[in-house]
Amino acid sequence: MKEYFGKKIFGGIAIGKISFYSKNQNVVVRKKTEDSEGEIARYEAAREKAIEQLHGLYEKALKEVGEMNAEIFEVHAMMLEDDDYNDSVKNIITSQKVNAEYAVGVTGDNFSEMFANMEDDYFKARSADVKDISERVISILCGKTSDSDIGDEPVIVVADDLAPSETVQMDKTKLLAFVTKFGSSNSHTAILARTMGIPALIGVDIDEEWNGKTGIIDGFEGKLIVEPDEAAMNDYVKKQEAAKEQKKLLQSLKGKDTVTKSGKQIKLYANIGNPSDLAAVVQNDAAGIGLFRSEFLYLEASDYPTEDEQLKAYKQVAETMAGKKVIIRTLDIGADKQADYFNLEKEENPAMGYRAIRICLTREEVFKTQLRALYRASAYGNIAIMYPMITSVDEVRRIKEISKQVREELVATGVEIGEVEEGIMIETPAAAIISDLLAKEVDFFSIGTNDLTQYTLAIDRQNSKLDEFYNPHHEAILRMIKMVIDNAHKEGIWAGICGELGADTELTERFVEMGIDELSVSPACVLPIRKIVRDMD
């Protein structure tokens, strides 16, 4: 019996056979050909098929793990439509008179190296994406399938790394857990694991000799046991049963209030990225929706979504929640969330660039179209509006001017609108520090801890090299959250958390002690958080 440790991604106990997952490595051979037009036609056909596959993966991921996690496949499809990439492939085929496989391989290597050498971490991350799409096209040219077959029995998948496409394609009924050598806790694959509720570890020094052996994953302690002895096996069988019982216990909390023993009531809401996530919200008994990411409407479209198209989505969510609060965040596009028709220029530091409310305030007609749809939808349920990436009082006052104008125009034309709370996200240090001033202008605060942590610590949360420095429990973050809550209460408004930290059970009690009014988490985290709150004195 041997024990190995890694970074835990999702808790839980998994016991089963280890299956070492090896990627299909395409061996590309350089072949001379005089039929350049034929090779270009082969490439175009393979490229179209790859785009079709990626759209299929997007739809599959959309149903299984939600819109935010499915976005990567849309990004890959867009990369295959990039003129520079396609021109390079065709130029190599015609100028060197070589086969399409070789041209795609060379182009993939060249572009991957180009991205890897860039200073900006966002573009560095695109290096792996270019390799992934190039391998997909080469596989199609070689007549290979891209299915991620893990066999007929449930297994613990062990791999050097897993691309999001590979994770999504695996049969979830056969996937007990996964362990990888590489990857980041903020990678797309790690997020997929949390969304699907699969125990997972990263940063484990893996060995192909484990293939076929019995393994145990302890997702709570970040531990992998290979060939456990009888005592360890018995111990973990009991722990697994206890975890199942705990899950049953949590189900018994449905329909009960999220309130401490001393009577402190917490609004426990859910985060969603698409109306398709509503089933999980209802199933896990969330009291409302604390963050509805409206940008999915823009990312899925080939042109700006119309007012009526947006109304349909917002109305569906409002009606389904039947009077429960639905907080819809206005368009938060930019940075790593791109839509071609916005024609956003590439930026050296996109996380701090032209995004979110900065786009809305400089493209007012786009903003007004969304506001009109939101106010119209408010007649069908309990809708609140939340504005992201705020840094100043002037921004909030400008938003209020625009929203007032939109409301007055709607009322003047006889459109019915409901009572709408309007709040802002506190996700920049600037907003946190002046939260006493901002609280005078809005109905509520929702603290976006993902970006707040990133900006406060000056650490790119997508950069795996910085994982050891990325500390969301940093005292500076917690003091900032406390300050925001206090400033909100002084002005008589409520404050919540909608970032990943809201679901961190190690901090739930501290947040309640700080006086937090609301926590918005992924649907699967609602009942575990409710239990902690109800057990508090």
Residues identified as active-site: 188, 498
Bridge partners, residue 179, by sequence? 158, 201
The C-alpha atoms of residue 204 and residue 493 are separated, in whole angstroms, by 46
CA distances from 285 to 250, 269, 272, 320, 383 (A): 11, 9, 14, 13, 18
Residues in the annotated binding site for Mg(2+): 427, 451
* DSSP three-state, residue 228: coil
Binding residues: 293, 329, 427, 450-451, 461
**Alpha carbons 444 and 309: distance in angstroms, whole number:** 28
Residue 458 carries which DSSP code?
A: T
> What residues have CB less than 8 Å from 422, skipping those under 6 apart?
384, 385, 386, 387, 400, 403, 442, 443
Cβ-Cβ contacts under 8 Å for 447 (sequence gap 6 or more): 425, 426, 427, 481, 484, 495, 496, 497, 498, 499
Which phi and psi (to 5°) does residue 374 adopt? Answer: -65, -45
Q: Give every CB contact of residue 506 below 8 A, 6+ residues apart in sequence.
A: 473
| d(C-alpha 74, C-alpha 70), whole Å | 7
Q: How far apart are CA 525 and CA 498, in angstroms?
A: 12
Q: In a 10 Å sphere around its CB, with 0-12 CB exposed, 13-18 middle and 19+ buried, how is residue 366 labelled?
A: middle
d(CA 252, CA 266): 18
Structure tokens at 52: 């079709």
- Which residues define the annotated binding site for phosphoenolpyruvate? 293, 329, 450-451, 461
